[in-house]
Amino acid sequence: MKHDTAFIRSIAAKVGTPFWLYDAGVIRQRIADIQFMSSAPNVQARFAMKACPATKVLREMAAAGIWIDAVSGNEALRALRAGHAPGNTPPVVCFTADVFRDNALDVVLKNGLLPNIGSPGMVQQLRAAGYTGPVSLRVNPGFGHGHVNTCDTGGPSSKHGIWHQRIITARDAAVSAGMRVVMLHSHIGSGPKHQELHDNLDRLATEFAEMVPLFPDVEAVSLGGGIPHNYRDPAAQIAIEPLRDLFTRCQQRISAAAKRTIRLEIEPGRYYVAPGCTLITQVHDIKETSTNEKGAGATFAMVDAGFVDLVRPAMYGSYHRIEILDSTAEPEPIVLAGPLCESGDVFTRGGADEELQPRMLPRPKVGDLVAIYDAGAYGAAMSSNYNSIGRAPQVWVEPDGTCELISRRETLDDLLKAETSERL
């Protein structure tokens, strides 16, 4: 996503920096990609809304017929307020979690949502609440991976789902509690290589084909999300035609094994939104350290965005393309660092140890704007109020250049709203 610098400056003059800049055209194109991948009969796409839960984005999904995967009670309520239908016939909003936290169980019960159970104990919690509706079981199939180890979603190290060798026990517990198991679900994560994704999805479909005859009430099987986005090379994205063919074959294979039509579901998150948002920040200073016995010196471009805005680089060394807007200087090694009281508040990190990794960038000047690209997935969604900083505003831009502020910058009053002094 790229816009004219003068256009971006005009927005910055109105809302300040940093801010999130959403490109409606890019997001709609990614939605269209997913619609194509899931266009075969009895294939349904969801949006893993944790990636980007902005109401504007949720309404785009509703308009496109994309269902929702929510992982908290408030996520489910956000989806409902954005126009997604309650109930479980069909289960437009599915609640997926390993724990019923806060209002989650109440939201599921009051709105008739399909609970996708990731822990055997959740069956007993539903039973104790008097629930006798349909359920989905999330299976840990024993394999899978994430783009980093902390995002691993399948295998012995993953906390998600019910271990595949114990899934029949969970089925029997649900049935004895009067619940019909209507869906089987798994999420194995996205691999760095396209072929790994295809191989793992094919393997997962094979395992589900072996499992569905043991679940006479199952109506759907979910292969989860995991469609990757290439953060380093925008031109090298995954081909969507082979995935459509794969999902079509998987649906047919699982239906044949069940001897009835089974709905196949997919639930990408990152793929829909990653390229559709850019974090815009401003340079406030340039400073340098010198090489000594402890290590090499560096040139730091100090910007007003930090990991309170985009935490992924600080959390696990994630790579985001960076551009100094309108700079014509010769590239040199630059470390892009933020304002927070943490040494790890650096956007140019990488490698297994997440070490400082200067980027070849034109030397910026104070006042220059910087674009941090592909920030739509787990960007604003994971932002925080650390250092009592208000979360940055979000701006939505239509293809014709029309702009809409879809969330304002948070104030101190917003941060203090939940604080109280109540005797218990």
| Residue 152 pLDDT greater than 50, yes or no | no
Selected catalytic residue, list 52, 151, 341, 403: 341
Task: Give the list of residues 6+ apart from residue 89 with CB closer than 8 angstroms, or none.
Answer: none
Is the backbone of residue 214 left (phi > 0), alpha (psi -120 to 50) or beta?
alpha
User: How many Å apart are CA 283 and CA 287, to the nearest integer?
Assistant: 11
Of residues 228 and 181, the one with the higher pLDDT is 181
| Residue 144 pLDDT greater than 70, yes or no | no
- Determine the pLDDT at residue 250: 96
| Residue 150 pLDDT greater than 50, yes or no | no
- Determine the pLDDT at residue 295: 87
Over residues 64-95, the pLDDT tens digits come to: 999 999 999 999 999 999 999 999 999 999 99
Three-state DSSP string of 265-300: EECCCHHHHHHHEEEEEEEEEEEECCCECCECCCEE
| Residue 2 pLDDT greater than 90, yes or no | no
Return the CATH superfamily for domain 24-274: Alanine racemase (3.20.20.10)
User: What is the SS3 assignment for 145?
Assistant: coil
Q: What is the pTM of this model?
A: 0.94
Give the mean pLDDT of 326-354.
87
| Residue 151 pLDDT greater than 70, yes or no | no
Strand partners for 394: 20, 407
Torsions phi, psi for 280 (to 5 deg) = -100, 125
Strand partners for 272: none
Burial of 28 (0-12, 13-18, 19+ CB in 10 A): middle
pLDDT band with cut points at 50, 70 and 90 for residue 349: confident
Over residues 372-421, the pLDDT tens digits come to: 999 999 999 999 999 999 999 999 999 999 999 999 999 999 999 999 99
Nearest CA to 372 among 292, 294, 274, 285?
274
Over residues 236-277, the pLDDT tens digits come to: 988 999 999 999 999 999 999 999 999 999 999 999 999 999
Whether 250 sits among the annotated catalytic residues: the reply is: no
| Residue 7 pLDDT greater than 50, yes or no | yes
Average pLDDT of every residue of the chain: 92
DSSP 381: G
Over residues 30-59, the pLDDT tens digits come to: 999 999 999 999 999 999 999 999 999 999
| Residue 424 pLDDT greater than 90, yes or no | yes
- Determine the pLDDT at residue 148: 43
CATH assignment, 5-20+275-409: 2.40.37.10
Task: Give the list of residues 6+ apart from residue 104 with CB closer than 8 angstroms, or none.
Answer: 72, 73, 76, 95, 97
**In the block, which residue shows the tokens 């990190």?**
349
Strand partners for 301: 286, 336
* Residue % of the chain over a pLDDT of 90: 81
Domains in the chain: boundaries = 5-20+275-409, 24-274
- Determine the pLDDT at residue 163: 86
- Determine the pLDDT at residue 122: 95
